[in-house]
Every structure is written in C-alpha cells, then in structure tokens.
Amino acid sequence: MNYEPKNKDYRKRVQASFDRQKFMDLIGAELVEVTPGYCEIKVPFNESLTQQHGFFHAGVISTLADNTAGYAAFSLMEADSTILTVEFKLNLLAPGKGDVLIGKAEVIKNGRTLTICRSEIYAFRDGNATLCAAGLSTLIELKNKSDYR
C-alpha cells in the first residue's frame, strides 16, 4: 500500500526513537529500512538471545514483531504524537534458527487513532530464509504527546 507520511522528517524521527530504546541496543538490533507504512529491523545471532535448544528466544522474536509494527505505524504519524502498542498476536511458525533474524512489518489499516500492522519475522541461515513468526498488531497514536520521556 502507498501511504503519505504526515511528517516529512519521519525517517529521522523513527531513527531517533529507535536509538532511545535501550533494549534494542541490548539485543544488537539495527533499524534497516523505514518507508511510509513499512519497517525492517534485524538482530544478529548471539548466544545470550537463545532459549534452551539454541534457537532465538520467542521473546526476541516477539520484540521484533512489536517494534517493526510500531515503527511502520509511527512513520505515518504527526510530528507531535507518540505511539503505543494496544495489543498484538503472534503465531510462532518455526524455530528461530539462524545467523540473523529480520523482522518486516507493514501497515494494513491506518485509522484516525488506531493503526493495524502485519509483521513477519524471518530466520536466515546460510542465505536461506525461514518464516518463523507472523503477527498482527494494533497501535494507538497519542496526539500532542512527546515521544521523549
């Protein structure tokens, strides 16, 4: 879908918000791409991000689903607003087994207050991608609220 951002500086704004998320630092996440209504984030493999079988932990996978959806939606919002997740559902489809996780999300409905996004999380191993999770998120735009603390 083609969306028009309400803020011409949406890329800088998304990057600045992403950079303030200390948890993204902790897991080594990188904001790869943001366009109006779309976001992609990657997380390289790290032993400390695994569960007992050596796969990426579902908490990391769900974090990617949440953040990619959040920033896909945030890219369309007014400069004087912020965003929060209202709810999300995630289906874990395959183990997160790979060298890197890549999360991709797109806005599927941009409402006045609520935005709905679809996210997909892929595990890449030896150049091959496996869809390991699919999610659906609802996010709320809080108008006239700073994105800073």
What CATH number did the domain enclosing 133 receive?
3.10.129.10
**Is 149 within the bounds of a domain?**
no
Question: How much is the pLDDT for 28?
Answer: 98
113 in any annotated domain: yes
Q: What is the pTM of this model?
A: 0.95
The per-residue b/e assignment along 5-14, b for 16 or more CB within 10 angstroms, e otherwise, is bbbeebbebb
In a domain, residue 136? The reply is yes
Q: Which domain holds residue 128?
A: 10-143
| Number of Cβ within a 10 Å radius of residue 45 | 19
Average pLDDT over residues 68-79: 97
φ and ψ at residue 95, rounded to 5 degrees: -60, 145
In a domain, 5, yes or no: no
Are residues 43 and 100 in contact, defined by beta-carbon separation less than 8 angstroms? yes
The count of domains in the chain is 1
Q: Provide the pLDDT confidence category of residue 47 given band limits of 50, 70 and 90.
A: very high
Q: Please check whether residue 3 lies inside any domain of the structure.
A: no
Does residue 106 lie in a domain region? yes
Q: Render pLDDT for 1-42 as a digit per residue (tens, 0 to 9).
A: 789 999 999 999 999 999 999 999 999 999 999 999 999 999
Residue 1 makes CB contacts below 8 A (sequence gap 6+) with 37, 106, 107, 108
76 falls within a domain = yes
Amino acid 145: pLDDT: 86
The answer to whether residue 121 is domain-embedded is yes
CA distances from 46 to 17, 55, 65, 95, 100 (A): 24, 10, 18, 15, 9
